[in-house]
Homo-oligomer: A and B are copies of this chain.
Amino acid sequence: MKKHNFSAGPSILPDVAYQNAAKAILDFNGTGLSILSISHRTKDFEDVLNSAQALMRELLNIPENYHIYFVGGGASTQFFHIPANFLGKKAGYVNTGVWTKKAIKEAKLYGEVEVVASSEDRNFCYIPKNFEIPTDIDYLYICTNNTIYGTEYKSDIDSPVPVIADMSSDILSRPIDVSKYAVIYGGAQKNLAPAGVSFVIIRDDMLQKVVRPLPTMVNVNTHVENNSMFNTPPVFPIFVMNETLKWIKSIGGLEAMYKINLEKAQILYDEIERNSLFRPTVDQPDRSLMNICFVMAEGKEELAADFLKFATERGMVGIKGHRLVGGFRASCYNALPKESVEALVACMQEFEQLHK
């Protein structure tokens, strides 16, 4: 049976990335060696690393005064790297759910945190808007897409202070204006790569803004100065990232990707609205294109377990919602084919017929 992989992360990657990764494990680039067993100091691997950086720069239209680096440890590590480097006295955080809460917790170890805005009052089902950004903070921190709650910022914020954004789960899903951010970072295990590598895009002036002495691996300068090679980087995840970036370019870049993502999301949100058994959980303007959350309609709650079983039997994978929201979450990352969304919609319609 064909599987439809809606996992929230690690998540589906393009077929060509799987094929080329499997090949490179047996023979990388005609070297007679496995990609798992080559020195990161070889030209063959440096070419991969440089290609991944160049493609990311090209696809996201990253200005020249920004650096890109790749590092292990996941976004959870960046949660403390950011304040360790940049929180001198006070930082502003917009609280849109679990991941910003975790980031806030780490920041408090380094200084004062002002929660500038929050959507906690309604279980994070919307993105706060029109909040005032204080000018006495070192930076404003946001998470652009909230994997658990299915909310997403739809525009780049104008801010009088540097904006630092966790884009783990919507990076490269649509064009953004990088110049509005001081730092963009994320775990790569959604739209980019298997688990094990994070990306950091950092504006040049931030390198001079490190506020305290830091361990070498925590200091952002280390990774910029050494072009992600201060220590052995996660070679294989970077290889797969490069394959994924090549694939995004091949289908037409971020404008094309965005169009496809909009279409997939529209199909699914339309069905959620239409289907008498389901309802969406997120305010209409803030619905994520990447993580589409829905629950059973009022009065139909007892059908939730049945639907999960029904859908699982038809090849849907990873659609159980996070326990903090309940219901269902279909993650529709870049590499998820439209056919998978259509298969899920067919499932929902079939299930509705059975429970009319």
Convert A1-18 into 0s and 1s, putting 1 for each residue whose CB lies closer than 8 angstroms to a CB of B.
111010111111100011
Which stretch (A176-184, A234-242, A295-303) binds chain B? A234-242
> Is B109 touching A3 in the complex (CB atoms < 8 A)?
no
> Is A196 touching B234 in the complex (CB atoms < 8 A)?
yes
Of all chain B residues, the one with the shortest Cβ separation from A197 is: B196
Please tell me if A157 contacts chain B, counting CB pairs below 8 Å.
no
Q: Measured between alpha carbons, how far is A233 from B35 in the docked complex, in Å?
A: 20
> Is A11 touching B37 in the complex (CB atoms < 8 A)?
yes
> Is A10 touching B32 in the complex (CB atoms < 8 A)?
no
Q: Measured between alpha carbons, how far is A314 from B241 in the docked complex, in Å?
A: 33
Tell me the smallest distance from the CB of A72 to a CB of chain B, in Å: 4
Please tell me if A128 contacts chain B, counting CB pairs below 8 Å.
no
Known contacts A18-B26, A36-B194, A195-B233; decide if A215 and B72 are in contact (CB<8 Å). Answer: no
Instruction: Please count how many residues in chain A sit with their CB below 8 Å of the partner chain's CB atoms.
Output: 67
Copies of the polypeptide in the assembly: 2
Please tell me if A74 contacts chain B, counting CB pairs below 8 Å.
yes
> Is B26 touching A106 in the complex (CB atoms < 8 A)?
no
Q: Measured between alpha carbons, how far is A31 from B10 in the docked complex, in Å?
A: 15
Known contacts A215-B106, A235-B195; decide if A37 and B7 are in contact (CB<8 Å). Answer: yes
> Is B231 touching A76 in the complex (CB atoms < 8 A)?
yes
Of all chain B residues, the one with the shortest Cβ separation from A106 is: B215
Please tell me if A73 contacts chain B, counting CB pairs below 8 Å.
yes
Determine the chain B residues whose CB is within 8 A of the CB of A194 once the complex forms: 35-37, 235-236
Please tell me if A75 contacts chain B, counting CB pairs below 8 Å.
yes
Determine the chain B residues whose CB is within 8 A of the CB of A36 once the complex forms: 10, 13, 17-18, 21, 194, 240
Additional pairs, 10, CB under 8 Å, beyond known A72-B73, A195-B235: A10-B37, A12-B37, A21-B25, A72-B72, A74-B232, A76-B216, A76-B217, A80-B218, A196-B196, A236-B237
